[in-house]
Structure 1
Amino acid sequence: MKNNYFYFLLVFVLVLFSCTPEKTEHIKLKIMATSDVHGALFPYDLVNDKETKTSLAQVYNYVDQERNKKESEIILLDNGDILQGDPLVYYSNFEKTETKHICADVMNYMGYDAGTVGNHDIEPGHSVYDKVNEEFSFPWLAANAVRNSDGKPYFKPYTIITKKGAKIAVLGLLTPAIPKWLPEKIWSGMHFEPMLESAKKWIKIIEEKEHPDFVIGLFHSGAGEKQSEEINPENASILIAKKISGFDMIICGHDHHEQTSWFENPDKEKVLLINPKSKAQFIAEASVDLNWNAENKKYEKEIKAKLVKVADLEKSEKYVEHFQPLFAEVEAYVSRQVGTFKSTISTKDAMFGDSPFIDLIQHIQMDLADADVSFTAPLSFNATIDSGDLQVRDLFKLYRFENLLYTMNLTGQEIKDFLEFSYKDWFQQMKSAKDPLLYISTSDKGSRLNTMFFNYDAAEGIDYTVDVSKPYGTRIKISQMSSGEKFDPNKTYRVALNSYRGNGGGNHLTEGAGLSKEELTSRLINSTTKDLRYYLMKWIEKKGTVDIKCDQNWKVIPENWHDAAQKRESELLYGKN
C-alpha cells in the first residue's frame, strides 16, 4: 500500500511538470500608454467649437494599425485623469448618469488592458468613479488607495497580463496628495498611503505570488525631480525608480510633462521612466524584446522607448463613426443657451489686476454663499467669453474645474495673511517702473509664466491695495469692507472659496493664513453638493442677462509702475493687440 502511494505521487509530479508550459524563447511586446487625457475622447474641441488633432480617435487608429501588423504583442494602458476636463465626460459624470459612462464605452472599445486611477478621477465623487469602475472591462488600479474598514485596496492593486506565456505585472499607484485638494466626502471610506511605502509592499507581493517576467509601474504621479526627498511627495516616480528594485519601466503622469529617462535601481539595473504629457498629445511607447535564458531561467530584456506625437497621426474614421451619436448628444447639450453677456470678458486682464472675468465669479460666489468676502483665481491663462448669447460650452471657459463651493470662517487677520501669500508668487517686488511685475521667463519658444496663475487669488468684499514696492508680509493694506463698514482684523467673516483652496490647495490657508489641516475642517460652514460650474450655470440662467462690471475694489501700487509693467508684459505673454 505504501509503495502504491509513492508510485502515484511520482506519477502526479511527472504529470505536473509535463503540463508546465515551456517559456517562449523570444517575445516582442509593444507597451503603449496614455495619461492625463482629461476627456480628449473625440477629435473636436466642444468648448471652442473647432476640430483638434489630438484625441483618443488618433490614438486608437495608431494602436489598431499596430495590432493588425501582428509583429508584437500589444499592451494598451491608461495612467489616469480621464474623467475630468471636457464637456464629453462632464455630461456623463453629472447630466446623463443612467447609462454607461462615455469613458467606459470608449476605453472598452479601444481594448485597454489596464488603467490607473488619477486624482481628477476621484474628483467627480463616489457615485461617478464607483460606477465607472464597474463598467470598465479592464482593471482600474490604485494599490495605495486603501479602504478604511479592512485595510485592503479600494481599487484593484495590480493585474497580470499574459502574452505567449510571459507574465507582465502592472502595479497602479496614484498621488497621495488628494486630501490636500478634495473634501473628504469625495474620497470617504479610504485613505492614501505614501507611494514609496506602497510600492515596496506590493512589489514584494507581486514577486512572491506571481513570479512576473516583466513589471510595469503605472503611476499617476509626476517624475518628481524636485520633490524626491519629501516624506510623502506628490510626485514620486523617480524616487521609486531609484529606491525600489523590481520595476522594468514606470509610466508616470499627473504633471503634464513629456519625458523619456533612464534611472538605476538599487540592483544597478536600468529602469525606464516615460511620461506622455496630457490631452492625448503623445503615446508613450516601449518596444520590449524578451529573450529566454534557459540557464538563468529568466528573460533577458531589451527596451527601446519613444513618445509618439499624436498630432502626426490620422484619426480613426471607424472610431469617429461609432461614437458620433454620443458626440452629437453632447454637442447639442453644450450648444444650449443659458443667458446673455452684455460685454466681452477675458482672463488676460486677470493676470495683472482686478478684472470683470474674476469679478463675475466673485459676485456669484458671494451671492451663493451669502459671504462677506470671496476668494478666487483665474483658472485659465487665456480664455475669452464674447458678448452676446452665452452657451453651456462657455461655462467651461469661465470655470475649468469641478470644484465645490465652500463657505468658511476666517478672521480679518487670516484674510490679510492669505492675500499676502497669494501675491507673493504673483507679483515680484519692484524697485522702479522698469522692473518686472510678473514672474516671466522668455526663450526661443516664447514667454511664459513661471508661477501658477490658478493660485493668483484675489478678494472681493474688501477694498485693499497691493504695494509691490514692499516685501512679502507688508504689501496688503485693507482699508475697509466694500460695503463701507470697518474692516476688523479680529472679527470673523464668512468667506466663499472653492474646495481646492478650502482643503489647503496652494497652501494659502496653511502656509499663508497659518491654519492646520484640522483647523481647515473646523472652519468649514457649508459646502455645495454639486460642482461650482453647475451653480454658475443656474445663477446665470436665473439672471438671464448679465452686465459684467469691474468694481476695482483692489489695485496695485505704485500705479505708474504697475501700468508700465503691465503694458510691457502683456505684450510679452499675449502679443500686441
Structure 2
Amino acid sequence: MKLIFLHSSDVHGFLLPTDYQNKTDYKAPFSLSRVSSVIKAEKAKYGQDHVIVTDAGDCLQGSPLASYAHSVDDYSALAKLTAAYNLVDYDARCIGNHDFNFGLDYLAYYVDNNEAPIINDNILDAQTDVPAFGKEYQIIEKDGIKVGLLGITTQYIPHWEPKEHVAGLKFVSAFSKIKHYAKILRPQVDVLAVIYHGGFECDPQTGKATEPDRGENEGYKILTKIPAVDVLLTSHQHRRLNLVTRNTAIVQPGYRGEAVAKVVLNIDDESKKIKSMSTELIDTKDYEPDKKIVALVKDLDKNTQKWLDQPIAQLNKPAPIGNATKARLEGAPFINLLQQMQLYFTKADVSATAVMSETAKGFGKKVTMRDVLLNYPYSNQLCRVKLTGKELKHIIEYSLSFLKKDQSGKIGFKDRWIKPKPMLYHFDVFYPVKYKADISKPEGHRLTELTLNGKVVEDNKIYHLAVNNYRAMGGGFYPEYSMDKIEFTLDKDYVQMFKEYLTQTDVEVDTSKNYQFY
C-alpha cells in the first residue's frame, strides 16, 4: 500500500494569498487557503485512509492579519484564525517558537481550541517535568498500518522570548526527547514520524556544519543518531527541503504556505515494512484558495485592511529604504529613523538594527499601520545592553563577516546568508557611531575606524547598546550577547513604539550616512 504524509509549517498567519502590501492584490503564490486546496486534492487522489496531514507550527505571528488578530482583546479574531487552521483537518501538529510571541494566555487559547492533537515532547512544566500542553505522541492507523507521531519544538525559545512568555516552562533538547520516546513508540508502530519545529545544524547529506551548534536546530543529530525515525517533518528555517537519506524521508515546506511537503511510503501489505520512499514539494501557487477558508475569514481580512490603513503620523520628510540590499550596504533614512527611535526609548549610546524585510520600502511622509508592519513585521521588544568597547567591536566585526568582495572590487553578501534561505535580517548596522571597514581584510580585523561623537571607541570603556530582544538573547549567533548583560527590556513592541515616537516627538529624520564598506 501507499502511505502519504502531507506537511505544512511556518504559515505565520498568512491565511489568504496576500502580503498586504497592496490592499487589492490577492494573487500571492502562498497562503493557508492554498495549502488546504492542495491537501484536499491529494486526499481525493489517494483516499482519506492513505493520507496523514501534519503541521509544525509558527501559526500565530508573522502576517498583518495575525497582528490584527492579536490586537483584538476579546480573542474573537484569534478564534477565527484558529478556526481557519482547523478547516485544514490536520491529523497532528506541534508548536513553533513564534507561537509564544504573544504570551502564554494567547497560546493556551489557541491550543485549547485546536481540533487536531498537539504533540509536545519537550516543552515541560518546570515543576513536574510533564508536557505543559498536548500529548507525548499519537498513534494513527491507516489501512491497517500503525503510524506513530512524535512532536518536538526547538529548545532555544527561552533565548528569544521575554521571561513572562516562558514562565513555569522547561525546554529540553529535541534530540534527547525524540531518542527517549522513539524507544517507547517504535515497538508499537510500523512507521515512526517526527513533526519537528526545528531544522538542521548540518547539511543532511554531507554532514558539513551550516551554523554554530547551539541546540537551536538538532535535525542532523536526530537523523544520524536515531535510526528508528522513518520520516522527519521539519520546519523553522523556512527552507525548501525534500530528500531521502539514511533510510529517512526528510521534508521542509518553506514559508507562508508556499508549498506542501509530500512523503510517499510504499509499504508491503504482509510484512508492513517500508519498501521504498520518495519526497516532493507541491507548490501551492498552482491551486486556487479554499473557498471555505476564504469565506470564514472574510470579515477578519476586511477588518485587518481597515486597521492597516489607520494613519499613525505625518513626517516632515520621507524615510525610504529603496532597495533592501543596497540599504544594508550603504545605509538608508528609514534605518536611521529606526535607530533614532531605539536610542530615544533606551537613552543608549549606540543602536543596532537590521533591515527586517526584503520587500521593506520605508516610510513616506504619511505613515500608516500598514507601513509599520510591512517594514518591521516581528513582535520584538527593545532592550538596552551593557558592553565594553571591545565587546562592541567584536559584535560589529561579526556583522562585517557577512560581507565579501569579488575580484572586481564589488562588495556583497556571502552565499551562506542568501542560500538556501535568505537570512540577511541577521545583518546588523550600527548608529550613530561612524565606522569604516576594509572587506578585503580577514574576518575579525576589518574595522578601520570606529568613533562615537567624534571620539574613538575605547576597549575598556562601558557603552550601552539599544537592540531588539531577539538579538540581545542570542539570535543570529552573534558573539558577546548574553542575558546577564541586558540592563532592561521595554514592555512594548515595535508597533507601540513607532506610534508613540512618531506622534509624541518632533522627529527629524537623519538622512546622513554613518558607515562605509570598501
TM tier relative to shorter chain: 0.7 to 0.9
Among residues 161, 170, 189, which one is paired with 2:149 in the alignment?
170
User: Matched residues in 2 for 1:358 and 1:236: separation?
Assistant: 34
Match of 1:106 in 2: 84
Matching of residues 21-40 of structure 1 within 5 Å: 28-40=2-14
Retained in 2: the 8 A contact 1:88–1:102? no
User: Matched residues in 1 for 2:295 and 2:468: separation?
Assistant: 39
Match of 1:157 in 2: 136
Match of 2:447 in 1: 476
1:343 lines up with 2:321 in the alignment = no
Match of 2:430 in 1: 459
Match of 1:143 in 2: 121
Mark the CA change 1:229 to 1:255 in structure 2 (over 3 Å): closer, same or farther: closer
Match of 1:57 in 2: 33
User: Matched residues in 2 for 1:232 and 1:142: separation?
Assistant: 21
1:198 lines up with 2:168 in the alignment = no
The 3-state SS of whatever aligns with 1:530 is strand
Shift of 1:368: 1.0
The 3-state SS of whatever aligns with 1:140 is coil
User: Matched residues in 2 for 1:68 and 1:473: separation?
Assistant: 56
Shift of 1:173: 1.3
Shift of 1:129: 1.7
Retained in 2: the 8 A contact 1:177–1:234? yes
1:553 lines up with 2:514 in the alignment = yes
Shift of 1:498: 0.6
Q: Which amino acid aligns with 1:552?
A: K
Retained in 2: the 8 A contact 1:339–1:540? yes
Alpha-carbon deviations, 1:392-444, whole Å to 9, x = none?
A: 1111222132211001211222222221222122354x8x8x323223569xx
Match of 2:329 in 1: 352
Mark the CA change 1:450 to 1:299 in structure 2 (over 3 Å): closer, same or farther: closer
Retained in 2: the 8 A contact 1:77–1:115? yes
Shift of 1:202: 0.6
Mark the CA change 1:349 to 1:229 in structure 2 (over 3 Å): closer, same or farther: closer
Matching of residues 226-245 of structure 1 within 5 Å: 226-227=208-209, 233-245=215-227
Match of 1:16 in 2: none
Q: Which amino acid aligns with 1:542?
A: Q
Match of 2:500 in 1: 538
Q: Which amino acid aligns with 2:433?
A: I
CA RMSD of aligned residues (A): 2.9
Match of 1:505 in 2: 475
The 3-state SS of whatever aligns with 1:357 is helix
Retained in 1: the 8 A contact 2:233–2:250? yes
Alpha-carbon deviations, 1:449-505, whole Å to 9, x = none?
A: 9984222222213333324454334433556433x5675433322221011110122
1:93 lines up with 2:55 in the alignment = no
When normalised by structure 1's length, the TM-score is 0.80
Match of 1:526 in 2: 488
Retained in 1: the 8 A contact 2:387–2:462? yes
User: Matched residues in 1 for 2:149 and 2:373: separation?
Assistant: 35
1:279 lines up with 2:256 in the alignment = yes
Mark the CA change 1:88 to 1:291 in structure 2 (over 3 Å): closer, same or farther: same
Matching of residues 53-452 of structure 1 within 5 Å: 53-68=29-44, 71-73=47-49, 74-99=51-76, 100-155=78-133, 156-207=135-186, 211-223=188-200, 224-225=202-203, 226-227=208-209, 233-264=215-246, 270-293=247-270, 298=272, 303-341=277-315, 342-346=317-321, 347-385=324-362, 387-428=364-405, 434-439=408-413, 452=423
Mark the CA change 1:45 to 1:179 in structure 2 (over 3 Å): closer, same or farther: same
Q: Which amino acid aligns with 1:56?
A: L
Mark the CA change 1:301 to 1:340 in structure 2 (over 3 Å): closer, same or farther: farther
Shift of 1:287: 3.6
User: Matched residues in 1 for 2:33 and 2:423: separation?
Assistant: 31
Identity across the alignment (%): 26
Mark the CA change 1:96 to 1:161 in structure 2 (over 3 Å): closer, same or farther: farther
Shift of 1:40: 1.7
The 3-state SS of whatever aligns with 1:250 is strand
Q: Which amino acid aligns with 1:82?
A: C
The 3-state SS of whatever aligns with 1:44 is coil
Mark the CA change 1:468 to 1:306 in structure 2 (over 3 Å): closer, same or farther: closer
Shift of 1:162: 3.2
User: Matched residues in 2 for 1:283 and 1:129: separation?
Assistant: 24
Among residues 462, 486, 493, which one is paired with 1:492 in the alignment?
462
Shift of 1:143: 0.9
Retained in 1: the 8 A contact 2:146–2:191? yes
Mark the CA change 1:287 to 1:135 in structure 2 (over 3 Å): closer, same or farther: same
Alpha-carbon deviations, 1:334-358, whole Å to 9, x = none?
A: 1211123422511344221232121
User: Matched residues in 1 for 2:509 and 2:171: separation?
Assistant: 42
Unaligned runs of 5+ in 1: 1-26, 265-269, 557-561, 563-577
Shift of 1:292: 3.7
User: Matched residues in 2 for 1:232 and 1:523: separation?
Assistant: 19
Unaligned runs of 5+ in 2: none
Retained in 2: the 8 A contact 1:194–1:232? no
User: Matched residues in 2 for 1:121 and 1:48: separation?
Assistant: 26
Mark the CA change 1:193 to 1:481 in structure 2 (over 3 Å): closer, same or farther: same
Mark the CA change 1:470 to 1:247 in structure 2 (over 3 Å): closer, same or farther: closer
Q: Which amino acid aligns with 1:280?
A: G
User: Matched residues in 2 for 1:350 and 1:386: separation?
Assistant: 14
Greater Rg over alpha carbons, structure: 1
Q: Which amino acid aligns with 1:129?
A: L
Q: Which moved more, 1:61-70 or 1:381-390?
A: 61-70
Mark the CA change 1:388 to 1:215 in structure 2 (over 3 Å): closer, same or farther: same
Q: Which amino acid aligns with 1:336?
A: Q
Q: How many residues align?
A: 504
User: Matched residues in 2 for 1:548 and 1:500: separation?
Assistant: 26
Alpha-carbon deviations, 1:248-288, whole Å to 9, x = none?
A: 21111222222221122xxxxx2211221221111112344
Q: Which moved more, 1:409-418 or 1:178-187?
A: 178-187
Retained in 2: the 8 A contact 1:339–1:546? no
Match of 2:19 in 1: 45
